[in-house]
Chain A
């Protein structure tokens, strides 16, 4: 099974 990662995990919000 695979789960989808979110971009928020990688790119910090300004």
Chain B
């Protein structure tokens, strides 16, 4: 049996918001260590990998591994009904047909209970071995989201160029070009505002702007985002959770 209680429903709301536009159906795999999701978008370009660790829950028990096949659009309709500050509890039997979603306000004078029908989904797992990256950038997630939104207005592609000194985000469209250059710096007072650039080898990669626009829907999950890049390889975009992570792997575009 699964019983997981969050101190606030806001975490699950943000997680669903972050992934629902990339994938529609996915299995939530529940183990004694927490909840994991791995899912690939329909075009096989973007992969999400989610870990909500046991410590993200106020109370958590999962005696046996349980798979919850969830339609995220439906789940989102229910999850939006809770207030962000409500306790959120997920309950499922060992071989469940549905999952119970319970919201309680902190005064305990209102309890809302919903049941979501589960689906039997083919799990389509990709094996991701530990990848080696040539460059790692950590920066404020809100800044990355703004850069993505701004440059997406010019072009369907977003180029990321990393040199020793800086990282350049660039777009080249029909009516003009744009770029944003960031240098590394340390903000002692607000570490999350810092920009850290680690580069072993220079990087020049191009990505579909619409996929990166989906990735930055994870912005509310974390103050900072880490971007890991390797030549001619998928990039990794990571938002850290209090215990766990939301990772996006994005395949690059290549010159023909």
Seen from chain A, the residues whose Cβ lies within 8 Å of a Cβ on chain B are 1-14
Question: Residue of B at shortest CB range from A2?
Answer: B253
Question: Nearest 3 A-B pairs (CB), nearest first?
Answer: A11-B126, A2-B253, A5-B251
Query: Which residues of the other chain, B, contact A12 by a CB distance below 8 angstroms?
Result: 126-127
* B234–A7 touching, CB < 8 Å: yes
Query: Which residues of the other chain, B, contact A9 by a CB distance below 8 angstroms?
Result: 251
Interchain nearest-CB distance for A8 vs B (Å): 5
B contacts with A, residue count (CB < 8 A)? 23
* A3–B126 touching, CB < 8 Å: no
Seen from chain B, the residues whose Cβ lies within 8 Å of a Cβ on chain A are 40, 43-47, 124-128, 157, 206, 208, 233-234, 249, 251-256
Interchain nearest-CB distance for A3 vs B (Å): 5
Query: Which residues of the other chain, B, contact A1 by a CB distance below 8 angstroms?
Result: 255-256
Interchain nearest-CB distance for B134 vs A (Å): 15
Interchain nearest-CB distance for B94 vs A (Å): 24
Query: Which residues of the other chain, A, contact B208 by a CB distance below 8 angstroms?
Result: 4
Query: Which residues of the other chain, A, contact B127 by a CB distance below 8 angstroms?
Result: 11-14
* A2–B254 touching, CB < 8 Å: yes
User: What is the CA–CA distance of A4 and B128 in the complex, to the nearest angstrom?
Assistant: 19
